[in-house]
Amino acid sequence: MTAPSPASPSADAAAKSRYARFLLLVAGLGGLLYGVDVGIIGGALPYLQATSHLTPAQLSVIVAAVLLGTVFSTLFAGLLADWMGRKPLMVLSGLTFVLSIPVIALSHGYSPLFFGRLLQGMSGGLIGVVVPLYLAECLSASNRGKGTGIFQWLLTLGIFAAALVGIYFSYRVQAVAQTAGAQALFDFKNHAWRGIFWVSLPPGVLFVLGSLMVGESPRWLFRRGKKEKAYAALLRSRSAEQASLELHEMEETARLAEQKLPTGKRVREPLVQRKYAIPFLLALVILSCNTATGVNSVIGYNVGILLQSGLSDLYAHWGYVLLTFVNFAMTVVGMTLVDRKGRRFLFIVGTSGIIVSMVSVGILFLRTEKLSFNAGSQVQSMVGADQQLTLHFDQAEASKLLAGGGDQGKQIESNRASLAIIYSYGDYTAATSFVRSDDPAAVPIQITRESAVPANKVESFFKNPFADLDAARTAPLKIVKAVVGQIPDARHGWLVALCLYLFMGFYAMGPGVCVWLALSELMPTRIRSNGMSIALVLNQLVSTILAGIFLPFVSKYGYSSMFFLFACFTVVYIVTIVFFLPETKGKTLEEIEAHFEGKATA
């Protein structure tokens, strides 16, 4: 037998390093897809809203459908990850994403669009569980923070890339608006939102191919009784000494988790005990509060927020691009600090900055919303005998409404006015989106019974379980409120944008990087996959609810109330971090589990 050459150890180390980088690349592509899931609607929504004739409630559902799909898939992601393995589930999640794109881009009408977005969300839910889980189980303790940070970094790259696609189409829309008529502009906007979705297809294909080439998680292999394969999987990215040490820790943890009766029968220890319950509940609170900061709503509705704050269509899209770039850039900062400063430090700094930013945005909107007045009686007089309303809100129509607004109406310029209508049929209330009098391509406000009254009793139960559906089908249209307000100037719009950039920066540096680590690190091995699923289900439920109510809520109560609400949720977040979250930097998963069991670790 020949002796190994001196170059063999270095060649082996280089191979391990290459595999670790490839693993991070594939997992990062999963983050990229998750980011596309979240961010793609931001650029497409204004054009979808202008051409689809969907109501604000339906548009909110289309935005929230991704989150709803995430809830469904996340619920079963842990079970699937345990049953079929981490690697096959990554392949399945990628294929689901690839399938969703043509379903969305070729859709005509609400139902296929909703189904496609639901598929996209199901892909995101699977990715959100299996990729952080896979990284936590495959990477060493010293690289786990950086590795999971790369997932978040490429997630933000996905959002940024989606914004760049949106700004590209925004320029093209502006060019068409200057040279073509209204019908040509309408047709191009209809093409634009479909094109935005088609561009997101290639990353999904790359993720599927990459997932087919990585190895299985060593901890999943160990739990399946494949000890030798688990050791071999560890050796692909670790030294023999480190691989042996981690395998020994797995064996020790498994031994302690199973007890033998005198008969020799193995009995697993109960789940209702400190080392399982405390980290599980802590992860639930952190994941719920993380999305309650409003991050998904700020990203998904960013263009609309900036339009209402005073920016033009083009600048609003550029504002969204800058927001996603801040998210991308500050994630790099978080990645460099997470394994040096620790998780708690970044969580506390990030949530503190979020509170200040959200309060600032709320104050800015509150100052402009004070100028608005209620033109409900005037709009009510426009309702036809068929109990429907079609209103084209241009400068001339704004002048008529402002004339009846008294002193408040005189403070608002007819060429920079906005209108949102809250209306009801019986027990069901709905709201339109804000429309601007200076938007020549804006479609008329259309209020019909179908836009507010559910089609069946199942839908009625979820919308208002105490409502009388039969009575609403014949009830007259009542204009509850018609809010006419002043569109602020561009300076105000950029101030709002700046505060949102601060929000995004603090979020990306702190919770954005650390939340995936908290999710994967806090859960003990025995409950990690299913525990992560349950925590992410709650996370996405909160996000779905916030996304679904966002447009109706701001139409009725104003943007200021929404941002103050986000700030209040973040106060709960920082209190949880300060008083209950331990530092997990540099600890193996088994050491973290020992901490919650109350055992001292070296």
3-state secondary structure of 454: coil
Going by pLDDT thresholds of 50, 70 and 90, the confidence category of residue 45 is confident
Q: Count Cβ neighbours within 10 Å for each residue of 124-159 and write b for 16 or more, e otherwise.
A: bbbbbbbbbbbbbbbbbbebbbbbbbbbbbbbbbbb
Q: Count Cβ neighbours within 10 Å for each residue of 47-58 and write b for 16 or more, e otherwise.
A: bbbbbbebbbbb
> CB burial class (10 A; 0-12, 13-18, 19+) of residue 377?
exposed
Do the beta carbons of residue 210 and residue 179 sit within 8 Å? no
pLDDT at 273 over 60: no
Beta bridge partners of 268: 258
Q: Is the model's pTM score more than 0.85?
A: no
Q: How many angstroms separate the CA atoms of 333 and 57, rounded?
A: 38
Do the beta carbons of residue 207 and residue 55 sit within 8 Å? no
Q: How many angstroms separate the CA atoms of 121 and 71, rounded?
A: 8
Q: How many angstroms separate the CA atoms of 441 and 13, rounded?
A: 60
Identify which of 511, 483, 562, 44 has the alpha carbon closest to the alpha carbon of residue 297. 562
Beta bridge partners of 482: 421
Q: How many angstroms separate the CA atoms of 517 and 287, rounded?
A: 11
At 601 the pLDDT is 46
The whole-chain average pLDDT of the chain stands at: 79
460, two tokens: 């009625």
In DSSP notation, 269-295 reads PPSSSHHHHHHHHHHHHHHHHHHHT-H
pLDDT at 563 over 90: yes
Which secondary structure element, helix H or strand E, spans residue 486, and what is its range? strand 477-486
Going by pLDDT thresholds of 50, 70 and 90, the confidence category of residue 478 is very high
**Which of 353 and 393 is assigned the larger pLDDT?**
353
DSSP state letter for 598: T
Amino acid at 247: L
Q: What is the pLDDT of residues 403-460, one digit of tens each?
A: 877 767 777 888 888 888 888 899 888 877 778 887 776 678 888 888 888 877 777 7
Residues 6+ apart with CB under 8 A from 456: none
Amino acid at 494: W
Residue 69 to residues 37, 120, 122, 316, Cα–Cα distance (Å): 11, 7, 4, 28
pLDDT at 266 over 60: no
At 308 the pLDDT is 79
Largest Cα span, the chain:
99
**pLDDT (mean) for 190-199:** 82
DSSP state letter for 586: T
The CA-to-CA distance between both ends of the chain, in Å, stands at 42
515, two tokens: 């939340």
At 326 the pLDDT is 92
Do the beta carbons of residue 152 and residue 333 sit within 8 Å? no
Do the beta carbons of residue 345 and residue 586 sit within 8 Å? no
273, two tokens: 């005990």
Q: What percent of the chain has pLDDT over 90?
A: 10
Residue 495, number of CB atoms within 10 A of its CB: 16
At 144 the pLDDT is 61
**Which of 272 and 226 is assigned the larger pLDDT?**
226
At 271 the pLDDT is 47
Do the beta carbons of residue 317 and residue 329 sit within 8 Å? no
At 585 the pLDDT is 65
Q: What is the pLDDT of residues 569-590, one digit of tens each?
A: 999 999 988 888 777 665 666 6
Going by pLDDT thresholds of 50, 70 and 90, the confidence category of residue 3 is very low
**Which of 242 and 560 is assigned the larger pLDDT?**
560
CA dihedral 513, 516, 517, 519 (to 10 degrees): 150
Least confident interval from 51-65, 157-171, 293-307, 488-502: 51-65
210, two tokens: 């990459």
Domain positions in the chain are: 373-491
pLDDT at 503 over 80: yes
Locate tokens 């018609």: which residue?
Answer: 482
At 525 the pLDDT is 61
Q: What is the pLDDT of residues 323-346, one digit of tens each?
A: 888 988 898 888 788 777 777 888
The alpha carbon dihedral of 251, 257, 262, 264 has a sign of negative
Least confident interval from 33-42, 353-362, 574-583: 33-42
pLDDT at 94 over 50: yes
